[in-house]
Every structure is written in structure tokens, then in C-alpha cells.
Amino acid sequence: MIKRFNRREFVSALSLGSGYLMFSNPLAGCTNISSADPFQKVKLGNSGLETTLLGMGCGVNGGNRTSFMTRQDKSKSLALLEYAYEAGIRYFDGADLYGTHGMIAEAFQNIPREEIIIGSKIWTRPGGIPEPERPDADIVVDRFRKELNTDYIDLMQLHCMVTADWTETEKRQMDILSDLKSKGIIRAHGVSVHTWEAMKAVVGNPWVDVLHARINPYGIAMDKPEPEEVVSLIHQLHDSGKGVIGMKLVGGGKYTEEGDKIDNALRFVLGLGSVDMIIVGFENEAQIDNYTGRMKSALSAIKSA
């Protein structure tokens, strides 16, 4: 059960770095987190996928098949991906929107495929990608596999759902992805949501294996400005067996340079017990090292709370 706090108490707790304690017995359901290692293996709900607690997002400022990684020198982006792997990260989050499939394939061409978990996302809405056409999911996934140079994709999601009726409007694509899963072409399917209404539509929907949910203690770039409400819904989704991937921990980059807010966000999200893993969009090797150290401290604090 979630404790109720007024806004002043909520912000005050965060300033003390204790936001993760605002929820009763936060470690009770935290079965995924077994140590202070950011690269410990965790299960994504009942999806059958297992990967590292910390994953790497490959779509910083992404859109129209471009992103930070495609706009900087290619050699730097490849080196960044390789550094992330060497550090211990095993989950790499792509999407058609980001244009980074080819980089992921090139960076890991000599790594055994089973060593990493690759996620990607299909864009079905108007805009976002160059072409006006929106082929069915089987055609799109076949292209993704060629771009990623892989026989299968671990997690395939519908990207950025915003309407309350997306489970109806996207039913054809959902059925196609279910068929691809039965054939082993993808291992799990799901959705990333970008509105409160779209997230609520996931509740009770058996099709969603894994979802991306925006969560941080500040209500920035989230589906609801009040974190308490978002957490309540995430608890429901996690308790139903869905894998939950936390994103936008620093408000979509708003607090990237504010260490205390990063620490608060890590303690808050990792301590909830209902977020299986987090992804961060890294722009350089130093950020990976920085988050690794901060996560170790946050996890140690949570385990000893």
C-alpha cells in the first residue's frame, strides 16, 4: 500500500535522498535485486527474458531515424556501445525511430548473440519516420532483423502508444507479433507508453509481456505529474507478471548534470520493487562509469534500509 504524502512532504523526502522509503515495505517485492551490482541479472516479469539491471538506451534525442549516436562520429558511437558491453551492460534498447540498428549490429558482430538482449520498437503513428507508409509488423520486423544482422529479436514493442484504445487500433499488429513470437522470430512483445490513458490500457491486457514506463520522483516527462499515482499503476502491472522497464529517470535529460537528483531518482525507482530494470541513454563512457558508481551506492542504501 502506498503512503500518502502532500507535495511539500514528498519534495522534502526527496531532498534528503529518501524518496524510496515513501512506499511501505519497498523491498518486499524487490526480488529482482539481489546485490549492489548494477549489472546483476534480472528477469523481466514472466516474459522469459533475463538481462542486466542497467541497460543502455540508443535513442537520445531520437526521431526520424536519427539520434545522438547517429549524429556524432560513427567511430565514437561504436566505441560507446563496446564500452557499455565491456562495463557489463547486456540490454541494448533500439527503435526504428532512432536509426541505430546498424550500429548495434556492427558493434556486437563478434559477440555471441546470446550474450546480449536486443530490444526494438515499431513506429505505427503518423510522422516520426521518413516514410508515410506503415507496413505490417512482420514486414517491419524482417527489415529490423536484417538491419541488426540477427535471426531473432528479443523484445519487440509498439512504440509510444498515446491513446486509451491502442489495444484496439493496434490489434492487427499485436496479432502479427504474437505469431512471430510463436515462431521464435521474436522472444517477447510489448509496448512503450507515453500517456496515462495508454498505460492504464495495459492493465489486464495479457498480450503485453514487457512495457517501458516513464518513472522518476519529480514528475518530469511522465504520464502523470504525481509520481504516487504512476507508482500505484506500475505496482499493478508488475504484480500481474508484466516486465517493467523504467525510463526517463532524470526527466528525459533534464537533470543530467545534477548529481543529487540522479541519486534520488535511482534510490526512488530501484527501491520501488516493481521496476525490473532501468535504461539510460548514455552519450559518453564517463556517464556509464558515473551511473555505475551511483547505482552501487543507491543499491547499497536500499538493501540496508
Give the pLDDT score at 10. 53
Is residue 230 within 8 Å of 223, Cβ to Cβ? Answer: yes
Residue 195 maps to which CATH number?
3.20.20.100
224 Cβ partners below 8 Å, 6+ apart?
196, 230
Q: Grid coordinates representing 146?
A: 536484417
104 occurs within a structural domain: yes
Domain count, the chain: 1
Q: Which domain holds residue 247?
A: 50-303
Q: Which residues of 77-109 are buried (b: 16+ CB within 10 A; e: fewer)?
A: bbebbbbbbebebbbbbbbbbbbbbebbbebbe
Angle 139-173-121 (CA atoms, 0-180°, nearest 5)? 70
Taking the chain (305 residues) in runs of 10, the rounded mean pLDDT of each run is 48 46 42 85 98 97 96 98 98 98 98 98 97 98 98 98 98 98 98 97 97 91 85 95 94 77 92 95 96 96 81
Residue 40 lies inside a defined structural domain of this protein: no
The reply to whether 55 falls in a domain is yes
Q: Is residue 142 part of a domain?
A: yes
Question: What is the model's pLDDT at position 11?
Answer: 52
Q: Determine, yes or no, domain membership for 191.
A: yes
Q: What's the gap between Cα 43 and its chain centre?
A: 13
In a domain, 38, yes or no: no
Tell whether 299 is covered by a domain.
yes
Domain membership of residue 19 (yes or no) is no
